[in-house]
Structure formats: C-alpha cells, structure tokens
Amino acid sequence: MIQERDKTETGRIAILLFNLGGPDGPDAVRPFLFNLFNDPAIIGAPALIRWAIATLISRRRAPFARQNYALMGGGSPLLPETQAQARALEADLAGRGMIVKAWPVMRYWHPFADRVAAEVKAWAPDRIVALPLYPQYSTSTSASSLKDWVKVARRAGLDVPTTTLCCYPRQPGLIRAHAELIAERWRQAETGGDGGPARPVRLLLSAHGLPKKIIERGDPYQWQVEQSCAAIVAALAPLIGRSGPDDLDWQVCYQSRVGPLEWIGPSTDAEVERAGRDGRALIVVPVAFVSEHVETLVELDIEYRELAEKAGAMPYYRVPTPSVHPAFIGGLGDLVVQGLDRLTASGGRPVAPDVAGTGCPASFSQCACRAARLSHA
Ligand SMILES: C=CC1=C(C)c2cc3[nH]c(cc4nc(cc5[nH]c(cc1n2)c(C)c5CCC(=O)O)C(CCC(=O)O)=C4C)c(C)c3C=C
Ligand SMILES: [Fe+2]
Ligand SMILES: [Fe+2]
C-alpha cells in the first residue's frame, strides 16, 4: 500500500466515483432506461432518431425490468453500495494523512453530474481525481461518464486541476480481492460443501457483454476483461494449492445481452449449459462489476442459477463483487495517490498518458489511455 502523505502537500482532494446508476424505485425504471438508451455512447444514431428509439425501447422494456427490480425491493442497490465504497475510500486515504471527500457520480440516474459538480464546487477542493468504478475501459461506460463530467464541470465553472484514471484491469488490490473471494467459495465447492457430492469445478469469469461492433471500432473493453481474468486466475492458483492457470478449469464469458445486435461471446448462459453437459460444478465470478446490482443479484443469483439447476451444473456458487473488500479499497486508494503524483509531477497541467508496460495494443484506438490526462494500471 502507498503510504502516508503530508496534508499540506496534497491539499483538499475531491474524488469522483463514476458508475452507471440505477432506478431508486418502480417509477424511476422507465426514465432510467430512457436516459441509458438516449446516450450516444450506447446508441450511435442522430439525436432525433436516438430519442425516438430510446422512447420506444424504454416503454417496451420497463415492465420486464420493473419485475427484476421488484426482486430487489423495487430499486437498485447500486447507489447505497457506491456510497459505502466512497466512505471506505475516504477512510483509507484519511488513514494516509489526506483530506478527501468522495462523491458517487451516476450516468443514468441520481446523483447526476450537475448536482455533484455544484457540491464539489461548494467544497472548494484543490484537486480532483476522476475515478470510474469500471476497472475495464469502454466507450459505453467510462468514456460516457467522463465526457459528461467534463461538459458539466465546465458549465458549472469548476476549474480545478484534475487527474483522470481511465482503467485498472490488473490493479493488484482489485485482483487480490477477487482471488480471495473466489478462494473462499472454491474450498466449499471442491468438498461438495453444500452437502452434495464433490464434482470437478469450473470457474466462469462473467463480464457484462457489449455489441460486437463497439469492439470492432477499437474499444479495449474485451481485451481488458481478458487481462483481468488472466490476472485473477494467476493470483487464485496459489491460494487453492494449484500450480498455475493451466492447473484450473476456467472460462471467460459475457452476460446481460440486450437488443437485436450481435454481442461478444461466449455468452454466460451458453457456458452454464456447457458446464452441465461436462458434469461440472460452477463458481461464477462477476469480473466487470465492483458492486451488487440487478445484473448480479437477479441475473447471476436467480436466472443463471435456475439455468444451472436445469442444466445439471450444480452446485452453483456466485462469488460476491469486491464491494468494500479492504484489498480493493486499498487498491483504489493507491490509484488516487498515483494519479495525484502524476498531477504534481506535471505542475497541475494535463498529464501525459502513462501506458508503459501496462498499455493496451495500438489497435485499441478508442482507449482513453491514448488521450492526454488519462492513464491505466
Ligand atoms: C461493465 C459494465 C457495463 C457495461 C460495459 C455496460 C454496457 C451496456 N449496458 C447496456 C444496457 C443495460 N445495462 C443495464 C444495467 C446495468 N449495466 C451495468 C454495467 C454495464 N453496462 C450495470 C452496473 C447495470 C445495473 C444498474 C442497476 O440498475 O442496478 C440495463 C438495465 C437493466 C435491464 O433492463 O436489464 C440495461 C438496459 C447496453 C446496451 C450496453 C452497451 C452498449
Ligand atoms: Fe449495462
Ligand atoms: Fe489503453
């Protein structure tokens, strides 16, 4: 962990934790879906056509989505989860001698960037750290949030030196949190810990999917997801007494497909069925989410579990998201410190990309690490 700072050296630091947002009750489901599908980063059509498509899809999808949110009490737990992460990160950095305040900034439901920008301005920070809670960068998530923030902050007159992290697919704290959380389930699964017979275990590393055409445009998301998965499996192996990744049965897959386009694969549901045919028990790990919400609590815990029961891929274990795991929060703290160091080194001016040794191949032209100010770990 990166150690204690001098308060006077770092000043007041505002940290922005970007995430997608989720409806806070049944009435919010439709406007939330409208905001999502009306984002040019999600649907790349001209504004008027996009508005019409978003109106149509949100109207059609809302009743089905409302049923899923009803299974979690009517709304998404994403904001309370992110608030808990904000408090944990503040505590971690206060423990290193820093004066910090962290704000969740949501893209498609409250708190939106404009309200947060006003609050941040009133707090009068010396510097800002923009930190997407998406470890893997995509134009559909991190880029959308960061672009929106830049526009809103400019409108609010918030002119404060800012350092922006683009992504951290192999950040050591993130990887350790995943590996430790998986290891706990692995021991249960290998011994048939649910009372059933012990069976060979397959690890499904499941990420939110994306339309294939977004990847073809140079989005690094899938490549970064694969980077995360390889690092997680390498960190897991010694924790469960295996010699390395080749000594484990594991598979990367993609969930949550929506709409008629072709998405990247293999899909998580196809992999659950294949595990059944292969006589495997399953441990499913959400690798692109860092907190609980509808895609973990409903899709993974209910829908894919039912599929696993039908397919005979049992027992089925779902590993929790990193949430406020100390290794993950410590890793975020390290990212903040590293970002501030880069800002200091640049005299508060835009920071050059820092991709040495960790950057993605040049073919991923859309990765934000190609633009000044951004870097990834
Ligand atoms: C890695 C994170 C995410 C990526 C990439 C992503 C892309 C993406 N998502 C949709 C459509 C929907 N996503 C929905 C929910 C949702 N998505 C993410 C994360 C990523 N999305 C999260 C964290 C959540 C949960 C929010 C919550 O309310 O708890 C939904 C709404 C739920 C539903 O109706 O199924 C939609 C729709 C697209 C089209 C897309 C890429 C183009
Ligand atoms: Fe999504
Ligand atoms: Fe990159």
Tokens encoding 91: 């505590």
DSSP annotation of 353: P
Is any atom of ligand 1 closer than 6 Å to the C-beta of 134? yes
Q: Of the candidates 377, 172, 206, 198, which has an alpha carbon nearest to the alpha carbon of residue 281? A: 198
Total number of domains in the chain: 2
Q: Are residues 143 and 162 in the same domain?
A: yes
Same domain, 14 and 152: yes
The ipTM of this complex is 0.95
Between these two residues, 352 and 306, which has the higher pLDDT value? Answer: 306
pLDDT-based confidence at residue 194 (cuts at 50, 70, 90): low
Whether 46 is covered by a domain: the verdict is yes
Q: For residue range 114-150, what is the model confidence (pLDDT) as tens digits? A: 999 999 999 999 999 999 999 999 999 999 999 999 9
User: For the residues of 65-133, what is the DSSP string, one character each?
Assistant: HHHHHHTTTSS-SHHHHHHHHHHHHHHHHHTTT-EEEEEEEESSSSSPHHHHHHHHHHH--SEEEEEES
- Cβ of 257 closer than 6 Å to ligand 1, yes or no, is no
Binding residues for Fe(2+), as ranges, are 208, 295
Among residues 336, 338, 293, which one has the least CA distance to residue 91? Answer: 336
- β-strand 99-106 against 127-132: which pairing, if any? unpaired
Please tell me the least confidently modeled range out of 8-17, 158-167, 211-220, 325-334: 8-17
Question: Quick one: how many helices (H) and strands (E) in the chain?
Answer: 13, 9
Q: Are 254 and 264 in contact (CB under 8 A)?
A: yes
**18 and 110 in one domain?**
yes
Question: 282, 302, 318: which is the final residue of a domain?
Answer: 318
Residues forming a β-bridge with 255 = 208
- Are residue 250 and residue 336 in the same domain, yes or no? no
On the question of pLDDT at 199 being above 60, the answer is yes
Residues 207, 94 within the same domain: no
Q: Which atom of ligand 1 is nearest to the CA of 64?
A: 34
With a 6 Å cutoff on the Cβ, whether 42 touches ligand 1 is: yes
Q: Let me know: does 194 contact 159? Beta carbons within 8 Å.
A: no
- What's the CA gap between 103 and 279, in Å, rounded? 46
Q: Using 50, 70 and 90 to split pLDDT, how confident is the model at 349?
A: low
In testing the pocket of ligand 1, which one of 294, 321, 323, 366 has its CB within 8 Å of the most ligand atoms?
294
Give CA–CA dist 272/204, Å, rounded.
8
Determine the residue of 295, 298, 300, 367 to mutate for testing ligand 1's pocket, defined as the one with the most ligand atoms within 8 A of the Cβ atom: 295
Range name among 23-32, 245-254, 296-305, 337-346 with the lowest pLDDT average: 337-346
Q: Are residues 160 and 183 in the same domain?
A: no
Q: How far apart are CA 333 and CA 327, in angstroms?
A: 10
Q: Which of 41, 42, 49 is nearest to 147 (CA)?
A: 41
Q: Domain range holding 143?
A: 7-169+325-376
- Residue 279 · residue 122 · CB < 8 Å: no
Q: Is residue 206 located within the same domain as residue 111?
A: no
- Do 128 and 34 lie in a common domain? yes
Output the pTM of the full model.
0.94
pLDDT in tens, 296-330: 999 999 999 999 999 999 999 999 999 999 999 99
- Report if residue 2 sits inside a domain: no
If pLDDT is split at 50, 70 and 90, which confidence band does 352 have? very low
